[in-house]
A and B are shown apart, each in its own frame.
Chain A
Amino acid sequence: MPVLVYIESENKMFKKAALEVASYGRAVANTLNTSLSAVVFNNEDCSQLADYGVDKVLTVNHSNGFNAKVYADIIAQAALKESANVIVLSSSADSRYLAPILAVGLKAGYVPNVVELPKTQPFSVKRTAFSNKAFCETEITTEVKIIGVSNNAFGLIEHTTSLQSEPFSPKITSSDISVEKVDKATDKVSIADAETVVSAGRGLKGPENWNMIEELADVLGAATACSKPVSDLGWRPHSEHVGQTGKPVASNLYIAIGISGAIQHLAGINSSKVKVVINTDPEAPFFKAADYGIVGDAFEVVPELIEKLKTFKAQNS
């Protein structure tokens, strides 16, 4: 009974989170002494999956775009076809959308926000809880198990396989929801997909000062984010608000500029691996939660950081 992973692509490129899911799925398959199957939508060239441990891929052509119910149903059919009883998904908005529907369909236990490989006998996984203020070891007691892996928690692990590809034509269920419009900035890295996030708070004094934040993000190939007060004041869109009631961030590098570090903000970004804080106030709580800190004026530090990073990037590319 192989492990099954749902591999997401965007513009026919596999998402980094999807390759992480493949890496994680491979490790689970090794633990359970089984093989790894994948289900891929609308992407014929799956050769890259051979580098991340996938043994067999089921390719589905579904031209109508993402629909949580339809996709959940197709993944359920793939799981039945493969007799998979461990299914691994990412933490993307789409995966989180479809996972509960898939879980009900397969009568499976679903645990999201998983940060480590499962233990077996009994089968349990470690996940974050209380908005990153704690971890919870969670046992999955059903026969079929669904794991949602946290972004950047497991990383990419190369493992070469001789990949087999097979077209899969599932029964398509009718949908009760239709997409009218998609607004998506194609030139920007999303917070969910970003390896680096540059975030700023009220210390920036006003929305007109965000150019340097965007420029710093640009140099680092990072996504931009903001604190709750900044989004409440309307300086930046809600979609940039990170923290307990905003978006969670699990990037490799998180740079906080002019953010004091309220407990709700820290809870939302705590899964990020390396945290840098730049703040004029040496007493700001963020200094207790960060790895590197600079006490200084953002208006002086950030422009200098941008220039020096440009030089660094030029020398190291």
Chain B
Amino acid sequence: MKILVCISHVPDTTSKINFTNDNTAFDPNGVQFVINPNDEFGLTRAMWFKEKENASVDVVNVGGPETESTLRKALAIGADAAFRINTTPTDGYAVAKELSKVAKDGNYDLIIAGRESIDYNGGMVPGMMAAELGASFVNNCISLEIDGTNATAIREIDGGKETLSSTLPLVIGGQKGLVEESDLKIPNMRGIMMARKKPLMVLEPAQQQTCTSSVKFEKPAPKGAIKMVDADNIDELIDLLHNEAKVI
């Protein structure tokens, strides 16, 4: 089985977000970048298929040279080879188009992406890839088993879960649950050394077709002061929620 894991290079979850150029661009200064957490759950599940079922696992990212550290980390975790599509990601559709080309050329059986990246939160790349490739698609995937060319996946729905069966090729939008938090691998020294020798191929983008563009950013208005209520005065809290906030 050939697996392709799509990796987004995103600010660490603890990052403070700032903008530059008159609030028209994200400011990467002082920001630590990581593998998008939803993608990392998927990558870790892919490692399981590699170890138990001898699958090959490639990783791919759309981004400039500065994103290679994130791909090297994925190689250190255990991926076999990496692709970097050498362009700055613009919108979800353009990214999905670029990734689909790699997926098609490599004839992958299973394509794993995170359900959304934690920077733009678009949540559209996996579904658009599936549509582009004519492959089956399971979003919000929290469990995945493959038997030959048959797949059984569980997706999270509002207020529950749904078990689905499908055939390969399959695209999933993965998230926590595919593996547990405790299953995530921290690369060891051997992995890091091996990653340096693994292939990281740079591909030029096929085309830049976009449907949307980010025009301007703003940060939420600063929060007003909190109203403290004494622990002995629960009546006051109920009164505030009823008469002031009007939420009960």
Q: Does B190 contact A (CB under 8 A)?
A: no
CB distance from B62 to the nearest CB of A (A): 16
B248 touches A294 (CB 8 A): no
A100 touches B126 (CB 8 A): yes
Known: A193-B158, A292-B240, A294-B228. A97 touches B127 (CB 8 A): yes
Measured between beta carbons, the chain B residues less than 8 angstroms from A97 are 127, 139-140, 155
Contact of B131 among A105, A241, A252, A312 (CB under 8 A): A105
Q: Does B2 contact A (CB under 8 A)?
A: no
Measured between beta carbons, the chain B residues less than 8 angstroms from A44 are none
Measured between beta carbons, the chain A residues less than 8 angstroms from B136 are 176-177
Q: Does B189 contact A (CB under 8 A)?
A: no
Q: Does A181 contact B (CB under 8 A)?
A: yes
A96 touches B139 (CB 8 A): yes
A180 touches B142 (CB 8 A): no
Q: Does A45 contact B (CB under 8 A)?
A: no
Measured between beta carbons, the chain B residues less than 8 angstroms from A288 are 223, 226
How far apart sit A232 and B19, CA to CA, in the bound complex (Å)?
33
How far apart sit A105 and B167, CA to CA, in the bound complex (Å)?
22
Q: Map CB proximity to B onto A277-317 as digits: 1 under 8 Å, 0 otherwise.
A: 10000000001111111111100110011001100100010
How far apart sit A107 and B212, CA to CA, in the bound complex (Å)?
12
State which size class the interface on B falls in: 35 or more
How far apart sit A101 and B91, CA to CA, in the bound complex (Å)?
15
Q: Map CB proximity to A onto B19-31 as digits: 1 under 8 Å, 0 otherwise.
A: 1000000100000
B11 touches A185 (CB 8 A): no
B234 touches A308 (CB 8 A): yes
State which size class the interface on A falls in: 35 or more
CB distance from A248 to the nearest CB of B (A): 8
Contact of B166 among A96, A104, A176, A276 (CB under 8 A): A176
A136 touches B120 (CB 8 A): yes
A93 touches B158 (CB 8 A): yes
CB distance from B27 to the nearest CB of A (A): 11
The 28 sampled A-B contact pairs (Cβ below 8 Å) are A99-B124, A104-B96, A109-B211, A128-B121, A130-B11, A133-B220, A140-B212, A142-B211, A176-B136, A176-B167, A177-B164, A179-B162, A180-B152, A181-B163, A182-B162, A192-B158, A193-B159, A196-B247, A196-B248, A244-B13, A245-B13, A253-B247, A264-B14, A291-B224, A291-B226, A292-B245, A296-B231, A305-B237
Known: A101-B137, A179-B164. 10 other contacts (CB 8 A): A92-B158, A93-B140, A109-B212, A135-B218, A142-B212, A238-B142, A239-B156, A263-B13, A273-B245, A273-B247
Interface residues of B (CB under 8 A from A): 11, 13-14, 16-17, 19, 26, 37-38, 91-93, 96, 118-128, 130-132, 136-140, 142, 152, 155-167, 175-177, 180-182, 210-220, 223-224, 226-231, 234-235, 237-238, 240-242, 245, 247-248
